[in-house]
Amino acid sequence: MIEVKDVRKKFGTQEVLKGISAIFESGKNNLIIGKSGSGKTVLLKCIVGLLTPTSGHVYFDEQDYVAMKIEEKNEIRRKLGMLFQGGALFDSLTVEQNVRFPLDMFTKMSLSDKSDRVNEVLKRVNLMNTNSKFPSQLSGGMQKRTGIARAIVMNPKYLFCDEPNSGLDPQTSIVIDELIMEITEEYNITTITNTHDMNSVIANGDKIIFLHEGNKHWEGDKVSLFQSDNQELIDFIFASDFLKEARDARHNKLIAKIPK
Amino acid sequence: MAEYIHASGGPLFHIGRYVLMIKRCFVKPERAIMYWKETLVQMSNIGVGSVVIILLISFFIGAVSAVQFAYNLSASMVPMEFVGLIVKESMILELAPTVSCLILAGKIGSNLASELGTMRLTEQIDALEIMGVNTISYLIGPKLAAAITMIPLLVIIAACTGIYGGMLAGSLSGYVSSSDYLQGVLMSFVPYNITVMMVKSIVFGFVLTSVSCYQGFYSHGSAIEIGKASTRAVVLSCVMVLFADLILTWLLLK
């Protein structure tokens, strides 16, 4: 479980996060949603430690991550996996070397054990026979899947995904979302996904936190999303006329089902 | 770390951050074998990858120096053997270490800055940080180790090639015969001058690599910024090499 308590972040005079508190539960896909500039990425970076909050606390299983020394943080970081927006694969390494990198760096496993583990996770993300390819030879979806493989190769307790669907077609997006969901449940990982892809939100939002101008404006799940009367959230989720009509149609259908 | 990337300040801010970066290069590695492998890769990139340009540049520098010295001495009573002596001394004391390192600042400096800048831009450095890798130590430490090992070797090659280039140009131009030139080269050998050359090459190698890595590692923004960081790396490396040259020459040849 990850908990953030009253996290604030300022850049100069501009306050990007204005006291965010939330709990992200294990075995669930926790989503952070919001418009561009709402503070999603800054919050995610504060949680993983790429940014230090101006004030507030981030707890990983009740351990205060912000107050830790760099060596202690590195211990926690070895339990983290992160999928970056662009994949963040190492250009000069092949798919196999990319996925094997954390094992090479932090374990004393034999080469054959490492190869077995790499092949296992590559199979898990449906990337067989790509071991010797370089990132530049992969499609966007394959790069994301390689990123997921690298993120889970060390059996992380926490998985962070920064806009996993950006730049992908809807079908590939669904594949990536399903993969993240399956991995989260299979390994009982605390997953935090930063997204503004509405398909992901509606399909996978076990827990959703909606940020608006640096504040937590709403918290709920994919079911309560449709019943919320938070205007900013409604405007954000049902941005197009088509989605608004779909929401009303669903709403009317639900009302019609209520016995008179 | 990321906020320090975006922070900007005056010269004192950069000097402080540069010193902290150097300090963090010398922490205990997570896994020594990985650092060693990376050092070997960098030795190949920095050392082997620069041999051809060093051979080419130093040959011409030696050749031009020999012809110019011979031209100036031709009107005097000084024997032509001295062309060999002067070319040897100038190559060892100044031209081989300084000019080679200025050339390497252009080649290696821009390469290192753009490599690290691209890694920053594409979040590869963030990915390493998230894994718990000491990014400065892993990415910059092996480059520094490779540079201070390989650049002195390149400078030795440059000195030898320059002296040979001088002999060839001197004899081809008809100013000084090969035997006279070699006689001059073998005249008054001062081993301390070799020490000066090695000290200079190690210091210059360290300076140009660390300055370039600093520019690349702390670059941020877009591809245009990487280009700017690369240019800054070359310009600053050259200036710092020349500054270090002056200081070392004062200190070592007093």
Q: Do A45 and B2 touch (CB under 8 A)?
A: yes
Which residue from A52, A77, A160 is facing B131, i.e. has the nearest CB? A77
Is B190 in the A-facing interface, judged by CB distances under 8 Å?
no
| ipTM confidence | 0.85
Q: pLDDT tens, B107-121?
A: 999 999 999 999 999
Counting residues of chain B whose pLDDT is more than 90, the rounded percentage is: 82
Asked if the C-beta of B28 comes within 8 angstroms of chain A's C-beta atoms, the answer is no
B143 and B213 Cβ atoms separated by less than 8 Å: yes
- Stretches where chain A sits below pLDDT 50 are none
Q: What is the DSSP letter of B29?
A: P
φ/ψ of residue A8, rounded to 5: -120, 145
Q: Do B130 and A50 touch (CB under 8 A)?
A: yes
Which residues 30-59 of chain B have a CB within 8 Å of chain A? 30-31, 34
Q: Is the pLDDT of residue B3 over 60?
A: no
Task: Say yes or no for a CB contact (<8 Å) between B126 and A11.
Answer: no
Of the partner residues B31, B34, B124, the one whose CB lies closest to the CB of residue A90? B124
Per-residue pLDDT at B148: 95
Q: Which residues of A touch B2 (CB under 8 A)?
A: 45, 50-51
| Cross-chain Cβ contact B129/A77 below 8 Å | yes
Give CA–CA dist A148/A181, Å, rounded.
12
User: Tokens representing A62?
Assistant: 């009740």
**Letter string b/e over residues A52-89, b meaning 16 or more CB atoms within 10 A of that residue's CB:** ebeebebbbeeeebbebeeeebbebbbebbbbbbbbbb
Nearest CA distance, A78 vs chain B (angstrom)? 5
Q: Report yes or no: A95 and A131 within 8 Å, Cβ to Cβ.
A: yes
What would the mean pLDDT of B211-234 be, rounded to a whole number? 92
B chain contacts of residue A82, beta-carbon cutoff 8 Å:
127, 130
- Could you tell me which chain A residue has the CA closest to the CA of B126? A50
| pLDDT tens string B124-137 | 999 999 998 999 99
Is the pLDDT at B209 greater than 70? The verdict is yes
The mean per-residue pLDDT over the stretch B22-43 comes to 92
* Interchain proximity B127–A82, CB inside 8 Å: yes
pLDDT at residue number B5 = 52
In a mutational test of the B interface, the residue from A17, A45, A105 whose CB has the highest number of chain B CBs within 10 Å is A105
Dist. CA B185–CA B220, nearest whole Å: 50
Out of B25-29, B157-161, B201-205, B238-242, pick the least confident: B25-29
Residue B6 touches partner A, C-beta closer than 8 Å: yes
Shortest distance between the Cα of A68 and any Cα of chain B, in A, equals 13
Is the CB of A91 less than 8 angstroms away from the CB of B133? no
pLDDT of B1 above 60: no
Nearest to A51 among B2, B31, B34 (CB): B2
The CA distance from A103 to A95, in Å, is 14
What's residue B11's pLDDT? Answer: 87
| 72-131 in chain B: CB under 8 A from chain A | 118, 122-124, 126-127, 129-131
- Residue A3 burial (CB count, 10 A): 18
**Which residue in chain B is spatially nearest to A86 when comparing CA positions?**
B122
Q: Which among A160, A152, A155, A153 has a CA at the least distance from the CA of A65?
A: A160
Name chain A contacts of B133, Cβ cutoff 8 Å: 105
CB atoms within 10 A of CB A218: 22
Contact A105 B133 (CB under 8 A): yes
Tokens of A180: 């993240």
> Cα distance from B125 to chain A (closest Cα, Å)?
8
- At CB < 8 Å, which residues of chain A contact B? 11, 45, 48-52, 73-78, 80, 82, 84-86, 88-91, 101-102, 104-106, 160
Q: Which pLDDT does position A137 carry in this prediction?
A: 94
Lowest mean pLDDT among A173-177, B14-18, B62-66: A173-177
Mean pLDDT of chain B: 92
Contact assignment for B3 to A51 by CB distance below 8 Å: yes
Q: Is B132 on the interface with A (CB under 8 A)?
A: yes
Of A50, A75, A106, which is closest to B126 when you measure between CB atoms? A50
Is the distance from CB of B62 to CB of B159 less than 8 angstroms?
A: no
Burial class (CB in 10 A: 0-12, 13-18, 19+), B33: exposed
B222–chain A Cβ distance below 8 A for any pair: no
